[in-house]
């Protein structure tokens, strides 16, 4: 009997993905992002972080599948096939890469907590519409449900932010 319990527990874990906060800061619902592309979930569902420092880390283990030339956004695909977009600030593409320094490239394998992009929080505050950073699952067809587990208080990068149940 213990063997069956162990097998079923492992099976359940394989159908769940923990997404960690990619930044130190306050996690908020995606609906609070002052941009309808994100707040109306046109690109997918997730959450956002109001950053307190300029270091973006990977929220999951996976592969870098997209890195914008301006280094303001990165996409990572988990081993389960879930694609997560991290978009530093709003209207930061107009900064043309100023203040952003990527530590990864497309095709790199990354671990949760690994540094992806360093950025100047001060420059983003000065030149962008907002520092709020959406964390969006862009292929929602793989997702059964998303459960927020953040507190709304400041948290460290690496703390679990979302629990994602995957479709079988």
Count of all residues that appear for the chain in the document: 168
DSSP symbols for 65-108: EEE-TTSSEEEEEETTS-EEEEE-SBS-GGGTTTTEEES--TT-
Residues with catalytic function? 87
The phi and psi torsions of 26 (rounded to 5 degrees) equal -95, 120
Q: Are 128 and 50 in contact (CB under 8 A)?
A: no
Give the three-class secondary structure for 109: strand
């Amino acid at each position: 009997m213990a063997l069956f319990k162990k097998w079923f527990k492992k099976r359940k874990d394989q159908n769940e993905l923990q997404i960690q906060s990619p930044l130190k800061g306050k996690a908020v619902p995606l609906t609070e992002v002052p941009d309808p592309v994100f707040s109306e979930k046109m690109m997918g569902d997730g959450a956002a972080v109001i950053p307190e420092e300029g270091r973006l880390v990977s929220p999951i283990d996976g592969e870098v599948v997209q890195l914008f030339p301006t280094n303001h956004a990165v996409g990572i695909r988990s081993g389960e096939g879930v694609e997560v977009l991290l978009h530093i600030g709003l209207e930061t593409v107009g900064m043309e890469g100023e203040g952003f320094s990527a530590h990864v490239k497309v095709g790199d394998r990354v671990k949760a907590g690994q540094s992806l992009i360093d950025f100047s929080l001060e420059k983003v505050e000065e030149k962008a519409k907002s520092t709020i950073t959406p964390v969006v699952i862009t292929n929602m067809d793989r997702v059964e449900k998303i459960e927020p587990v953040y507190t709304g208080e400041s948290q460290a990068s690496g703390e679990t932010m979302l629990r994602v149940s995957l479709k079988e």
